[in-house]
Amino acid sequence: MSVHKKIHIHPGEILKEEFLVPLGISANRLAVSLDLPANRISSIINGERSITAETAILLGRAFRTTPEFWMNLQAHHDLEIAKDEVSTARIERADKLAKELRAA
């Protein structure tokens, strides 16, 4: 049986591929326009940094989306990573508690 590693798309990849590239905007131009440090945008695009609420608000305004769009992308990404990282033993303990609570 082969093990397949899940690929989780970081919101920064979506920012780059769905917004910056099609619109011809550089990470630096976006950072300057939003009055953000250039390394923040670069780190997001490179998948090294999460999108904060502040950044989500600014991205939403810049790209005519909503802050919720960006925060939901980040939350989904974080949950997918966490699902891979939570140990089976911890999940089994949570399931055991759920079963006990249903029986009570």
Q: Is residue 4 part of a domain?
A: no
pLDDT at 1 over 60: no
Please tell me the least confidently modeled range out of 16-20, 28-32, 93-97.
93-97
- What mean pLDDT do residues 48-61 have? 98
**pLDDT at 88 (0 to 100):** 87
Q: Tell me, what CATH number does 70's domain have?
A: 1.10.260.40
Q: Is residue 42 part of a domain?
A: yes
Q: Is residue 66 part of a domain?
A: yes
Q: Is residue 82 part of a domain?
A: yes
pTM of the full structure: 0.83
Q: How far is CA 64 from CA 1, 20, 35, 41, 61, in A?
A: 45, 13, 17, 18, 5
- What mean pLDDT do residues 80-95 have? 90
Question: Total domain count for the chain?
Answer: 1
Q: Is residue 49 part of a domain?
A: yes
- What mean pLDDT do residues 15-24 have? 98
pLDDT at 90 over 70: yes
Domain that holds residue 97: 11-103
